[in-house]
Amino acid sequence: MRHQTNLLRAMALTAILVAIVPVCLAGQQAPQPGQLDFAGDTVVLHMTKQAGHPRVVVDLGDGEEHVFIVDTGASVNVIDAAIAASLGFEVVGEMQIGAPGGPQIPGDIVRSPLARVGDATIRDADFVTMDLAGFSGGMTQGILGLGLFRHHLLTYDYGQDEIRVSRNSLASGEPGVIPYSDHDGHIQVDMDVAGTTLATHVDTGSMVGFTLPIEMKESLALKPVGQGAARARLVGGDRDVQFGQLDGDILFAGARYENPNVGFMDPSPGYGNVGSRVLSDFVVSIDQKNHLIRFEKSQHKKAAAAGEGPRRLGVQFRGAEPLRLEVDRDGQTKIIEIQ
């Protein structure tokens, strides 16, 4: 039962903050990502110890510690609406946001004149508001989107629990460096799924590993055990996720994943998604100025948690309320409550 519960936790939360696509309303300007300043060539942002996402602590000028995800799946900054209101941030516009391929929800655009993350300063950054604390079960108060780091080299080193931001750049031909496509403000690379090339988003905001379009399920061989379905919480609404173990390999970033667990999003945006569960195998560096990304095999890969296998999609969800899942496994419907 432990394996089933951990897998269901992961799949039910597969797409929480997986990707946020902004849609500007008529006559509205896009939110400004803000300016990131720091002394020297590199600043190190230390990740918090919460599992699942690369989180950092941000001071919004109130002296409090607010937990933000540094999310390559978000092209805009996001903040919890209640926090923005309590700090009196100026409302400068409105827009809609949501997960790709799904409905959008409205939010105000507010401006933060000054914030601090580690030894770096964020000036004049716009944030889109939503009930982020409620959506994440109190785990997250904000998101720092990819645009904030547009002038810098952004490096995720999960094994060292740190995010490094530097004034360096990548060059084509360096070991592990490949070009990427900008897909609506998101990083997109090719991934091989059992011999089929799939355009895939690199998404540090996803808690889990490989998520594939539902359209691929019928063409892929799956192991006969461990298949099932759950509901995933996304920005804009829930979706169905079917899951199982691939009877075949996935090639990603020069690494081979044999018979990995995969999820199939329904409806899907038409491309794949690779989250932090897989990305943590690497040190990932992103150079937006040159549209290059580098994957280096991590030398500090963390051991799996107790009771969790090397490829299990387990996460820990610490919400204020227990999570109730209606799950269809092997033709039987069960209600599982996760504390």
Nearest to 336 by CA among 62, 179, 101, 325: 325
pLDDT digit string, tens, across residues 145-171: 999 999 999 999 999 999 999 999 999
Q: In the prediction, which pLDDT does 230 show?
A: 78
Q: Residue 316: which pLDDT band, with cuts at 50, 70 and 90?
A: very low
Nearest to 162 by CA among 274, 304, 52, 55: 55
Cα-to-chain-centroid distance, residue 49: 16
Q: In the prediction, which pLDDT does 182 show?
A: 93
For the ranges 15-24, 181-190, 248-257, the maximum mean pLDDT occurs at 248-257
Q: In this prediction, what percent of the chain has a pLDDT beyond 90?
A: 60
Other C-beta atoms closer than 10 Å to the C-beta of 312 total 18
pLDDT digit string, tens, across residues 71-115: 998 889 999 999 999 999 999 999 887 766 667 778 899 999 999
- Indicate the Cα dihedral angle 16, 23, 144, 264, nearest 10°: 30
Q: In the prediction, which pLDDT does 185 show?
A: 85
Which own/partner pairs from 236-240 qualify as long-range (CB within 8 Å, at least 24 positions apart)?
A: 236/97, 236/98, 236/99, 236/102, 236/103, 236/104, 236/105, 237/98, 237/102, 237/103, 239/15, 239/99, 239/102, 239/265, 239/266, 239/267, 240/265, 240/266
Cα-to-chain-centroid distance, residue 58: 18
**How far apart are the C-alpha atoms of 256 and 328, rounded to whole Å?**
30
What average pLDDT does range 106-130 have in this prediction? 95
Nearest to 74 by CA among 109, 33, 13, 39: 33
pLDDT digit string, tens, across residues 319-328: 333 333 344 4
DSSP state of 157: E
Tokens of 334: 């069960």
Q: Is the pLDDT of residue 134 over 50?
A: yes
Q: Is the pLDDT of residue 131 over 50?
A: yes
**Cα–Cα distances in angstroms (integers) from residue 50 to residues 131, 267, 336, in the given order:** 20, 30, 23
Torsion-angle region of residue 148: left (phi > 0), alpha (psi -120 to 50) or beta? alpha
pLDDT digit string, tens, across residues 63-82: 899 999 999 988 899 999 99
pTM over 0.95: no
pLDDT digit string, tens, across residues 43-68: 999 999 766 789 999 999 998 999 99
Cα-to-chain-centroid distance, residue 141: 15
Q: Is the pLDDT of residue 307 over 50?
A: no
SS3 339: coil
Q: Which residue has the higher pLDDT, 138 or 148?
A: 148
Question: Facing residues of 74 across strands?
Answer: 20
Lowest mean pLDDT among 27-36, 158-167, 195-204: 27-36
Where do the domains of the chain lie, and which CATH numbers do they carry? Answer: 1-339 (2.40.70.10)
pLDDT digit string, tens, across residues 215-264: 999 999 999 877 888 777 666 667 788 989 999 999 999 999 999 999 99
Nearest to 239 by CA among 210, 215, 266: 266
**How far apart are the C-alpha atoms of 80 and 59, rounded to whole Å?**
14
Q: Please check whether residue 216 is in contact with residue 118, taking contact to mean a CB–CB distance below 8 angstroms.
A: no
Q: In the prediction, which pLDDT does 102 show?
A: 64
